[in-house]
Structure 1
Amino acid sequence: MKKVILSLVVVILAITTSYGQSETTESFGVRGNCGMCKGTIEKAAMSIDGVSSAVWDSENKKIELSFDASKTDLKAIHNAIATSGYDTNLVKANDKSYNGLHGCCQYDREMKLSNVKATIK
């Protein structure tokens, strides 16, 4: 009985350890203006399977997110945010998506973004 319990503990620890290794935390710049932008940007990031948290800071124009690198990558997240109408460090939203934003959300497309480095591997 002790061997069975010990075996179960080892298996649970192995699963927990392997899960934790694929969780990645990243941040990058995203243009936007207001609370409505915040909701749309975060919702777009969270729509990607594997993203567990996304918080956009309207002051710094930066999103911080955590995701499972075995399920998604930064390119997919950047693309989802751009599709919702918001430019990121690496992907510019198309004009149709940008023009579809509410008036208060139509940000200055030339605004400087956070100095956070963003790279797509």
Structure 2
Amino acid sequence: MNLISKTLIAITVLLSFNLCKAQIKNATTEKVKIYGNCGMCETAIEKVGSINKIAKVDWDKDTSMATLTYDEKQTSQEAILKRIALAGYDSEKFLAPNEAYSKLPGCCQYERQAKIPVKTEENKMVMENTPSMPVQQDSNQLQSIFDNYFAIKDALVKTDGSTASEKAKEMLSAINNVKMEKLEMDVHMVWMKVVANLKEDAEHISDTKDAGHQRDHFMTLSKSIYDLIKVAKQETPTFYQFCPMANDGKGANWLSKENSIKNPYYGSQMLTCGKTVETIK
């Protein structure tokens, strides 16, 4: 009976693993040691490391070995381990910041291994036990995405669906060229949450010249850009603006380089309808 149970468990695990790989495109699977003690650690490590349809972490508390399955075109082992380190868990490559480790419940505070500290450009303590140089972080690569967003906004102010479509295609190219492992950690975390929606909205805007349909997706595109621009470093202020009439009277936001109102949802019909609700510096 014991043998049968173990066989069934093994089959279940194998089927789950294969299903996970099927759901994640361009799947790469690797094993890495992540330190922890208990079931609470397992839940925390798997939750913070996993991202729907992009990355899956399966951690074994008995061996402290984790199986990482991820889309190699959208993330990396380093990015997954950084997220886990910031949650308080050391791995073979990164030590968690002391503050994050100290916040773990007592049962989760595993015995730590000595490793070499590395400072990121943000002066956050992300520890690495390899002699290789840390990856240079660069959030400026998002600038092309922001520039194309503002170009789409300007085109919609003029109800110019052709230009909006062209700029959305350029935005898609810029999105696909982002090297996530080079993003600063706080930017990286937001990027992983919004990238799927960014692509979807940019694709819809690029696939049509109908300004009405483009404006529908510009609403949700604006939300994703807002989340990104809040954490990315900008040399000049960005103005977050709101029109109460858009979206069938529910209201909708957009971002602008100018404080003056030029409404992308109505164009010349109600060009100055709206107000600035936040200045992002």
Scaled by the length of structure 1, the TM-score of the pair is: 0.70
- Aligned-residue sequence identity (percent) comes to 35
Out of 10, 15, 24, the residue aligned to residue 28 of structure 2 is 24
The aligned runs of 1:59-98 (5 Å cut-off) are 59-98=62-101
Out of 106, 111, 117, the residue aligned to residue 109 of structure 2 is 106
Show the counterpart of 1:3.
Answer: none
Q: Per-residue displacement from partner, 1:15-42 (whole Å, max 9, x unpaired)? A: xxxx85x210011000000000000000
Taking CA–CA contacts closer than 8 Å with sequence separation of 6 or more, which of the two structures ends up with the larger relative contact order?
A: 1
Greater fraction of residues in helix: 2
Unaligned segments of structure 1, at least 5 residues? 1-18, 112-117
- Is 1:43 matched up with 2:47? yes
> How far apart are 1:110 and its partner, in Å?
2.8
Q: Per-residue displacement from partner, 1:69-109 (whole Å, max 9, x unpaired)? A: 00001110110010010000000001000000001000000
> How far apart are 1:44 and its partner, in Å?
1.2
Superposition misfits of 4+ residues, deviation over 3 angstroms: 118-121
Q: Per-residue displacement from partner, 1:49-82 (whole Å, max 9, x unpaired)? A: 720x211011111100211000001110110010
Scaled by the length of structure 2, the TM-score of the pair is: 0.31
CA contact (8 A) 2:48 2:87 kept: yes
Q: Which has the larger radius of gyration?
A: 2
Unaligned segments of structure 2, at least 5 residues? 1-23, 115-129, 136-281
